[in-house]
Amino acid sequence: RLAANRAATQDDCYTADGKRIEVVANLGGPADVAVALESGAEGCGLMRSEFLFLNRTSAPSEDEQYAQYQAIADGLKGRPLIIRTLDAGADKDVPYANLPKEENPALGLRGVRMSLWQPELLRTQIRAILRVKPYGQCKILLPMIATLADLRDVRRVIDEEMKALARTAPIEVGIMVEVPSAALISKTLAAEADFLSVGTNDLAQYTLAIDRVNPRLAKQLDPFHPAVLRLIQLAVEGAKAHGRWVGVCGSLASFPLAAPVLIGLGVTELSATSGSIAEIKAMVRTLDIDKCKAVAEAALALESGEAVRRMLAQSWPEV
C-alpha cells in the first residue's frame, strides 16, 4: 500500500523500472523551504516570486530580492532552484506597476508581457537572480510565454544584464507552457529554451476557455481533461526534438494519480505542493514506463476529465 510507503526522504526518485523522475516542490519564499525538504522535495521546481512583490507600495530592491533568493538557495543546500520571474497582472495585482485597466486582464498584460512592458522591474529581478551563488544551482523560468518573440525579448534582457554583471557562467532559462500556443509551437520554442515547465492551472484555463477565478465554472476547469493532456503531449514532443526536459508545475502535478499519465506522456519532473510530495514519490516508485505509456494513451482517448479520473481511480484504488 502507498500509505505504508510514504516515509519522506530526499532520496532520488526512480520508477520501478529505473526511469529517473525528479520530484520537487513549489515554493512561495524562504519560509517554505524547511517543510519542503522535510516532505522529501529534491529541490524547487517553481519559486513563485510574486510573494515578494504583492501587498506592498513599491517594488522590492535588487538587494532585497537577492537576499531572499540566496536564502532559498542556501536553504536548499545545493539542490536545484527554479525561480519564476514576476507573474503579475490578471488576478495578481501589483499597484506600483501602474497596470492599465483592462477589459480582459487574463488576456492582457500579465507574466512576461507585463515584464516587457515595464522592463525595469524585470531587469532588477534578473540581476538579483544572476547574483545567486553557486552559479548553476539557480535557473530562470518565464511565465506566460506565448510566442518565440516573448522568449527572445526576455533572453535579450538576461544577456544584457549578464554582461553588465560580467557574469560569464551560463544560466538555464526555461519557459512555462501555460498558453496553448506555447504547446503548439513547443518545437520552435525548445530550440531556444533550456527546459519547459507546464503550468496546468493556466493551460486548463486557456484551453477550455474557463476563467480560473470564476467559482461557477470551477468544477469544469479540469486539468485532467484530455484536451489539456494532448497539449502536454505536444509540449513533450517538441521539447524532445531538441533534447530538452519537460516538467509540470501546475496543480495537476500535485495529484499522485496524475503521475502515471504525466510520466507516460514523457514528463520527467513533477513540481508539487510539499504536502503531496511523499505520496507522489511513493506512487512513482511503483510505476513502470510501459504501463504509464499505455495509461497515457488510454487517457488521451477518453471523453472527459472526469472519465480520466475514473479510469485512474479504478487502476489505483489504493490512492
What is the contact surface with Mg ion in residues (CB under 5 A)? Answer: 178, 199, 202
178 scored as a contact of ligand PEP (CB under 6 A): yes
As measured in angstroms, the least distance from the Cβ of 178 to ligand PEP is 5
Whole-angstrom distance between the N-terminal and C-terminal Cα of the chain? 9
Residues 237-256 that bind ligand PEP (CB under 6 A): 249-250
Q: Which of 178/279 has CB closer to ligand PEP?
A: 178
Q: Which of 239/249 has CB closer to ligand PEP?
A: 249
Per DSSP, which regions of the chain are E strands?
A: 22-27, 44-48, 81-84, 138-142, 173-177, 195-198, 245-248, 269-272
Looking at the DSSP bridge assignments, the partners of residue 197 are 176, 247
175 scored as a contact of ligand PEP (CB under 6 A): no
CA–CA dist 170, 192 (Å, integer):
14
CA 69 to chain centre: 17
Binding partner of residue 109 among Mg ion, ligand PEP, none, CB cut-off 5 to 8 Å per kind = none
- Helix 62-75, helix 119-130: angle, nearest 10: 40
* Minimal CB distance residue for Mg ion: 202
Q: Which of 92/242 has CB closer to ligand PEP?
A: 92
Q: Which of 73/272 has CB closer to ligand PEP?
A: 272
Long-range CB contacts (within 8 A, 24+) of 70-73: 70/131, 70/132, 70/133, 71/30, 72/27, 72/29, 72/30, 72/33, 72/44, 72/47, 73/132, 73/133, 73/137, 73/138
Q: Which of 10/271 has CB closer to Mg ion?
A: 271
As measured in angstroms, the least distance from the Cβ of 223 to Mg ion is 12
> 203 is written with which cell numbers?
493551460
Q: Residues 294, 296, 302, CA angle at the centre, nearest 5°? A: 105
Binding partner of residue 200 among ligand PEP, Mg ion, none, CB cut-off 5 to 8 Å per kind = ligand PEP
Identify the residue whose cell numbers are 487517457.
299
Binding partner of residue 225 among Mg ion, ligand PEP, none, CB cut-off 5 to 8 Å per kind = none
Q: Which of 15/247 has CB closer to ligand PEP?
A: 247
Residue type, 216: R
Q: Write the interaction track for ligand PEP spanning residues 195-234; mark x where CB under 6 A is met and - where it is not.
A: ----xxxx--------------------------------
Which residues are near ligand PEP by CB under 6 A? Answer: 46, 48, 87, 178, 199-202, 249-250
